[in-house]
Amino acid sequence: MINVRPLNLSDVPRMVVINEQGLPGTGKVSELEMEDVLSLCETALGAYQDGVLVGFVLCLLPQTRYASLNYAWFNQRYTEFLYVDRVAVADDARNNGVGTLLYERVFAHADALNSPVAAEVSLRPPNPGSIRFHERHGFDTVGVFEQKEKAVTMMVRS
């Protein structure tokens, strides 16, 4: 059985391990950077199996001090949204509904805020599994953000 609860600072080391398993799609972060993002979150949820963190999602509201270029892209185009900074599931817990369970909670929170959910998925390097996952959960492509060696598809779920 998987339980979902809010994340806290004691979860950060395991979050970084899970995040590393999702590279390059999740974007590399240090423990300090993960702690900082966690402190900015509107909602930060972890999925636990037998007391062990197996997945997490971090979401921010608009106009925080978060320095992500992808987050800035949404801030320039939308006044209201719940931004999924990252959703990550441990290698050995994938394809078991963990990501869906986390997103169900995100969607319920976004509905309570009357806000769309914003996310991006890597195009270069490609992450076709994540694109399928987001499309399956009702996200639509609203743009492509090209950077030097990277490109991401910008997605919104209304």
Q: What is the pLDDT of residues 99-119, one digit of tens each?
A: 999 999 999 999 999 999 999
- Say how far apart CA 4 and CA 122 lie, in whole Å: 26
53 part of a folded domain: yes
Q: How many domains does the chain have?
A: 1
143 part of a folded domain: no
Identify the DSSP state of 67. -
63 part of a folded domain: yes
Question: Measured in Å, how far apart are the chain's first and last C-alpha atoms?
Answer: 30
Omega before residue 62 within 30° of 0, cis: no
Name every residue whose Cβ is closer than 8 Å to that of residue 27 and which is 6 or more positions away in sequence. 19, 86
Output the pLDDT for position 95: 85
The mean pLDDT value for 139-154 works out to: 92
Output the pLDDT for position 25: 65
Q: What is the CATH number of the domain that holds 103?
A: 3.40.630.30
40 part of a folded domain: yes
Name every residue whose Cβ is closer than 8 Å to that of residue 127 and which is 6 or more positions away in sequence. 25, 121
41 part of a folded domain: yes
Cβ contact 76:154 at 8 Å:
no
Cβ contact 6:48 at 8 Å:
no
- Say how far apart CA 4 and CA 6 lie, in whole Å: 7
45 part of a folded domain: yes
148 part of a folded domain: no
pLDDT tens digits, 53-92: 999 999 999 999 998 999 999 999 999 999 999 999 999 9
137 part of a folded domain: no
pLDDT tens digits, 17-30: 999 887 776 678 89
Give the residue numbers spanning the domain of 27.
Answer: 2-116
Q: How many residues does the chain have?
A: 158
